[in-house]
Amino acid sequence: MARRVAVVGGGSSGLACIKCCLDEGLQPVCFESSDDMGGLWRFKENPEADRASIYHSVIINTSKEMMCFSDFPIPAHFPNYMHNSLIMDYFRMYADHFQLTKHIRFNTKVLQVKQRSDFSQSGQWDIETENKEGKKEKHIFDAVMICIGHHCQPNLPLHDFPGIDTFKGQFFHSRDYKTPEQWRDKKVVVIGIGNSGGDIAVELSKVTKQLYLSTRRGAWILNRVWDNGLPWDMLFNRAIDRLKNVLPFNFFSGLVESQLNKRFDHALYNLKPQHRLFSQHPTLNDELPNRILSGTVQVKPNVRRFQGSSVEFDDGSVVEDVDLVVFATGYRFSFPFLASQVLSVSDNKASLYKYVFPHELQRHTLAIIGLVQPLGAIMPVSEMQARWATRVFKGCAKLPSVVDMMKDIQCKKKTMAQRYVSSQRHTIQVDYISYMDEIAEQVGVRPSVLRLLLTDPRMGLNVLLGPCTPYQYRLQGPGKWAGARQAILTQWERVAQPMQTRPCPAAEPHRSFLWPLMVSAAVVGVAFYINRSKLPTFLQDPTELLERIKVFMPAL
């Protein structure tokens, strides 16, 4: 019989897990507590407890070619940066194409996941669930994949803000924000300059009387639209990634910071942080500089205290009559249905081998999928983790000893502590290409650039110098996809297609006289040099010189 695998959560990571289980001949059962798939990307007017929540206008920060599942490209006519509703459309297409929905039990909450009494021999798990009618069931599974993400439990550190209990206005976490209309002509303070904080500040500033954006450290601001109007994440490739790993950290950071400051001077805009660009998860926002320049957003330091309806900042400035405070202060993650001896979480830190496997289990039949924060898209990362985990469950891939796994965990923690600003936000950071390659190595699907350059030079150059799209991990090895090569060769066409909505006449070629003039000048110079002894004669009778030059002149 096929090994039964429980998948907890039906978001993007859960869908990838179902698909990977089916690819490996496993039998998945997905438990989704809500009535639909999509997880974080499913917009609902009213936030629900213990579930991710987004605002109506959310557009993803990663482009479609970089965020798609590796064997299912997003339709060419979809925009490069998609609204949350289009992301949901794509998930439904994916689920329909691979017939995933029939494996999902909606409105079913997981109450408990615990090891069976014979776990050391069987590796099996007891799982208790509850449906919307309150009926509880118990199940036995051979393996478990947990895909609940890290945006379910808001971090609301009210103890860090003296006087918040006296505040007369309204305050809430950014997960509770939906639309800006009700805050028209109000004064609003947004605390936090991550991606949610920046987006909400920009959106609210279009209707508010004044918006104040409070940040402790400042931030480097990237924009979705990069050089030549192309998506930012399509311009980072393996060559640049290797250069980043070779060059000194501060030098490479300085190069990119210089590029960002050409767009706008971060110091002039009161945004420049003390840390380097790659020492904090960057903020992507195309509109924020414009809102600051137009005065609708004022950048302020950290909040010192609240008093009544006023907010005092660390620089001593005070804003009176504040109507709303939005805490864009991030999230905490935990696994309440797991016993602490299986996996403990403290200060957003969990001890996982390559961010996937609890290293101390006697049987490696539990995988945490999607518990990473990449500088890039999470969907391909979760899919790669799921490909690895399912092969471990089958016995096709082996994990190292507990000692070696612990060394890897400690090494990653040390590297992260050295590089990143100390924050609970920076406990699960990974670099997209490096991490994808690391996990792909475990699966046996990491593309060999050298082999491709020797056997298929065109593809090799695309893999080395082109965007590191997920299709690269379907070129070889387990799960090889016949359409991967064509998907890579046509990726730029899919980038361009959604923008081709108006026929633009090709520019008429203008004849340039620069080249003939340069050739003529060279010919005259050579003629003068060859006949330099006869120069006085030619100067008395120039017609003879012109006749000699004509022999060498190109026909115009």
Half-sphere exposure of 219 (CA within 13 A, CB side): 24
Cα 325 from Cα 190, distance rounded (Å): 6
Per residue in 189-225, pLDDT (tens digit) is: 999 999 999 999 999 999 999 999 999 999 999 999 9
Q: Which two tokens stand for residue 423?
A: 């924050």
Does residue 145 contact residue 369 with C-beta atoms inside 8 Å?
A: yes
Cα 364 from Cα 358, distance rounded (Å): 8
Q: What does DSSP say about strands 349-350 and 210-214: parallel, antiparallel, or unpaired?
A: unpaired
Q: What pLDDT is recorded for position 423? A: 77
Burial 469-506 (b: 16+ CB within 10 A, else e): bbbbbbbbeebeeeebbebbeebeebbebbeeeeeeee
Residues of the chain with CATH 3.50.50.60: 4-151+332-445, 156-329
Q: Which two tokens stand for residue 348?
A: 């957003």
Q: What pLDDT is recorded for position 218? A: 95
Token pair 């016993």: residue? 339
Q: Which residues contact 155 (CB under 8 A, 6 or more apart)?
A: 173, 329, 330, 331, 332, 424
Q: Which residues contact 422 (CB under 8 A, 6 or more apart)?
A: none
- What is this structure's pTM? 0.89
Q: What pLDDT is recorded for position 556? A: 44
Nearest to 20 by CA among 441, 485, 380: 380
Nearest to 282 by CA among 348, 405, 197: 197
Q: What is the DSSP string of 63-84?
A: -HHHHSBTTBPPPTTS-SS-BH
Phi-psi label, residue 353: left if phi above 0, alpha if psi -120 to 50, beta otherwise: beta
Helix (H) or strand (E) holding 459: helix 457-465
Nearest to 65 by CA among 81, 89, 86, 88: 81
Cα 303 from Cα 295, distance rounded (Å): 20
Phi, psi of 110 (to 5 degrees): -85, 120
Cα 428 from Cα 370, distance rounded (Å): 10
Q: What is 4-151+332-445's CATH topology?
A: FAD/NAD(P)-binding domain (3.50.50)
SS3 347: coil
Phi, psi of 122 (to 5 degrees): -90, -30
Using CB atoms within 10 A of its CB, is residue 334 exposed (0-12), middle (13-18) or buried (19+)?
Answer: middle
Does residue 380 contact residue 12 with C-beta atoms inside 8 Å?
A: no
Q: Which residues of the chain have pLDDT under 70?
A: 1, 507-556
Amino acid code (one letter) for 450: L
Under CATH, which architecture does the 156-329 domain have? 3-Layer(bba) Sandwich (3.50)
SS3 332: strand
Token pair 């016949």: residue? 482
Cα 320 from Cα 309, distance rounded (Å): 6
Does residue 369 contact residue 381 with C-beta atoms inside 8 Å?
A: no
**Residue 145 CB neighbour total at 10 angstroms:** 33
Where are the alpha helices (H) located in 226-287, listed in sequence order? 238-246, 249-263
